[in-house]
A = this chain, B = another copy of it.
C-alpha cells in the first residue's frame, strides 16, 4: 500500500514532529487542529522543529567522511550515511525545506482533514475519556481505507479499539521525542488488529525513515519505557538510600556501559515534575517508611526550588553555565 495522504490528529510536540518527518519524506501531510487557538500554538512549533531539523543537517556536514560520524548523524534525515557527501546533504536540506513547506497543511475541519486519508495518527493528550469521545466523533467520517493509529505513550490500544469503529484497522504507532535523531516507531496492535494492517503500518514507519520496533503483544511502555523505567528506578533507589550521589551514579553508568548519559541526566531531560508524578503513582508512595516516599520528598525539594530539569536550566545538574 502506498501512503499518499497522512493525517496527524493533534499538533502538539510529537504531532508536529511526526508531521514534519512525514512531509520531509515526501508524504502529503495534514495536521488537524481543533481551533484557531491551536493554530497559534502549532505554527511556532512547526517553525521551531523545521529549524531543528535543518540545523541537524547543517551540523552533520561537519562529520561527513569522519569514521566516528555514525555516532552522531541524524538517522532519520540521512538514510544513506555511508555514501553521503556535503553536496548530498545540501541537496537534502533544499529538498527537505521544500517538502516540509509544500507537503504540510493545517486544517480545522476534521472532515476535510480526514478525507481520503491513508493513515491517521492520533497524537492528543493522554486522557482516556477525551480520546474515546474523539474517536466516536470521527468513526463515521473516516474513509473505509484509513488506518487509524494512536501515538499514546501510556495507554493501550485495546482500551480504545471498540470506540474507533474499525478495531481491525487500529493500533499504536509510538514515536520518540527528537524524532529526526531518535527514529524509532514502536508498532503495537491489540488482539483484534488485522496482521496485514500491522505489516502496512510497519512499512509506513520505514517510509518516513523510522526504524520500526515490532512489539508483538500489548505492553504498557512498549519496549523503550519497559527498559528505561527499571534503570531509572534503580538509580533513584541508590540515591535515596545514600549509596551514591547522582553525579557518581551517572559516571559509573557512562564509563561502565559507554552510554552518553546516565539515569539522572535522563531524568533532567524527562523533567522532575514528570519523575515526581510517576513516583506518586506507585503503591508505596504514601508509606513514610518507603524509599518511594523519601524520593518524593527529595525530588519535591528540587521542584520547590524551581529545579525542574533541562528546561528550567537546573535539575540534578546546572545547565545555566
Contacts of A69 in B (CB 8 A): 68
Q: Does A283 contact B (CB under 8 A)?
A: no
Interface mask (A137-172 → B, CB under 8 Å = 1, otherwise 0): 000000000000000000000000000000000000
Contacts of A62 in B (CB 8 A): 67
Contacts of A222 in B (CB 8 A): 252
Contacts of A228 in B (CB 8 A): 256-257
Q: How many of these chains are in the complex?
A: 2
Q: Verify B233–A182 contact, CB threshold 8 A.
A: no
Size bracket, chain A contacts: 35 or more
Q: Verify B263–A241 contact, CB threshold 8 A.
A: no
What is the CA–CA distance of A182 and B248 in the complex, to the nearest angstrom? 14
What is the CA–CA distance of A131 and B75 in the complex, to the nearest angstrom? 50
Contacts of A215 in B (CB 8 A): 243-244, 248
Interface mask (A41-71 → B, CB under 8 Å = 1, otherwise 0): 0000000000000000000001100111101
**Given the contacts A216-B243, A259-B260, A263-B227, A252 and B186 also touching, CB distance less than 8 Å:** yes
Contacts of A219 in B (CB 8 A): 238, 241, 243
Task: Name A234-257 residues within 8 Å CB distance of B.
Answer: 234-235, 237-238, 241-245, 248-249, 251-253, 255-257
Contacts of A259 in B (CB 8 A): 257-260
From the candidates B217, B256, B258, name the one contacting A242 in the complex (CB within 8 A). B217
Most buried by B among A182, A237, A242, A257: A257
Task: Name A184-231 residues within 8 Å CB distance of B.
Answer: 184, 186, 211, 213-217, 219, 222-224, 226-231
From the candidates B63, B176, B223, B249, name the one contacting A248 in the complex (CB within 8 A). B223
Q: Does A278 contact B (CB under 8 A)?
A: no
Task: Name A259-293 residues within 8 Å CB distance of B.
Answer: 259-261, 263, 266
Q: Verify B243–A217 contact, CB threshold 8 A.
A: yes
Q: Verify B256–A184 contact, CB threshold 8 A.
A: yes
Q: Verify B227–A184 contact, CB threshold 8 A.
A: no
Q: Does A72 contact B (CB under 8 A)?
A: yes
A interface, CB within 8 angstroms of B: 62-63, 66-69, 71-72, 75, 176, 182-184, 186, 211, 213-217, 219, 222-224, 226-231, 233-235, 237-238, 241-245, 248-249, 251-253, 255-261, 263, 266
Given contacts A230-B234, A231-B234, 11 further A-B contacts (CB under 8 A): A62-B67, A71-B71, A216-B242, A219-B241, A223-B238, A224-B256, A227-B234, A227-B263, A231-B231, A257-B261, A258-B261
